[in-house]
Structure 1
């Protein structure tokens, strides 16, 4: 994430998430490894549009990670971001109408997706224009995304399946609880000794050559969102990225 979407020593990042929430990881850790500055804001204050906007302006924040709900709060409160402001939206589906409003303010907008187990994001991508769906981009560095069939093997395009993702940093974090690791994960299709997370996102292949996919996921509130992924899209270099034409 230091490389893409990018953070520099000159950035000032506003941390809105509580420390027990997975979204706090990049807010706190990323500035530490980059040399940027983190500005902590009490969660109860972050729910107040006026106080949030005042903090953004007074602390000259240049980067913020926020849910679409918080983005609505800011826009409804009359927020006018400075030129070059970077906003990383995640944890909730980013509606096209909201993305269009955010782009109209001139910000550098990114959409991020990832289950908690991959700590924290699995895919991300810049949003420069808006269509019927908002892309969730491509897998981040050191992350691979598969489309798996019922047998937990890579599914052929145009077949209903589920997505799964894996990151090298994930298995050691749960090595002290091997039984929990096995029950919460699946073997990776290309590495029998590896494990991957299958978060319950259903997908279907669309194009045989590119394996762009989309599907739906039902979350605990019983609302649904569309999701996208790629069959074995590896992020070794920017040239190997396969950008999606679907949304989360």
Structure 2
């Protein structure tokens, strides 16, 4: 996962990532480890800054921030008050569906916008899309990740036909702690992967 993020965003020692996510949320792993693995600077926002769009933008400017990851809910507030503070910032969006209007606003104001998708069962992110190129879609699978849209018989559906999204890959969870029935319901054998592979039914 982190190797894919490194190739995708190519952070350098000139980058500064503002971390706004509580460490109890798995996506904080990207904010903490990606900059440190590439010699970039990690700037930790305090709780008040992370909740206040005006304070967050002041932090972006004061610290020379070049990358921020946040949920659409937070970006909605930031976009409403931002002028040109995001011009040099790579915006990462995830954790909730990205509204089309917000996608357009962020694309107009930021250096780049990437929409990320991934349930906790497939830690951390599973897919990504460059919003300027693709719009507010969930995108394509990251490295070592597979995504299938299948029917009730676990057969791939044609393009444009509704189905259910299944995710598989190296970062797939083992299951739910002490909940075997729920684990068997949501995690199943992956008929398209190597022997013994499993996939997660997103619902």
TM surpasses 0.5: yes
Is residue 202 of structure 2 the alignment partner of residue 199 of structure 1? yes
Per-residue deviation at 1:185?
A: 0.9
| Number of positions where the alignment pairs a residue of Structure 1 with one of Structure 2 | 197
8 Å CA contact 2:175–2:183 kept in 1: the answer is: yes
Q: 3-state DSSP class of the match of 2:85? A: coil
Mean Cα displacement is larger for which, 179-188 or 70-79? 179-188
Worse-superposed segment, 29-38 or 136-145? 29-38
Please give the TM-score of this superposition, normalised by the length of structure 2.
0.84
Query: Which aligned pairs between 1:99-248 and structure 2 lie closer than 5 A?
Result: 99-128=103-132, 134-157=136-159, 159-171=161-173, 179=180, 181-191=183-193, 192-200=195-203
Unmatched segments (≥5 aa) in structure 1: 201-248
Offset at 1:5? 3.6
Q: Could you tell me how far apart the structure 2 residues matched to 1:120 and 1:103 are?
A: 23
**68, 72, 88: which one aligns with 2:72:** 68
CA distance in 1 between counterparts of 2:22 and 2:86 reads: 25
Contact 1:144–1:166 (Cα < 8 Å) also in 2: yes
2:46 aligned to 38, 42, 46, which one?
42
Unaligned runs of 5+ in 2: none
Q: Which residue of 1 aligns with 2:98?
A: 94
TM-score by length of 1: 0.70
Whole-angstrom CA distance in 2 between matches of 1:24 and 1:67:
12
- Distance in 1 (alpha carbons) for counterparts of 2:44 and 2:110: 25
- Contact kept, 8 Å, 2:186 with 2:202, in 1: the verdict is no
Cα 1:135–1:5 change in 2 (3 A) is: farther
What is the DSSP-based 3-state SS (H/G/I as helix, E as strand, rest coil) of the residue aligned with 1:100? helix
Q: Counting helix residues as a fraction of each chain, which structure ranks higher? A: 2
SS class of match (2:192): coil
Equivalents in 2 of 1:176, 1:94: separation in Å? 30
RMSD: 2.5
Shift of the alpha carbon at 1:24?
Answer: 0.6
Instruction: Report how far residue 78 of structure 1 moved.
Output: 3.0
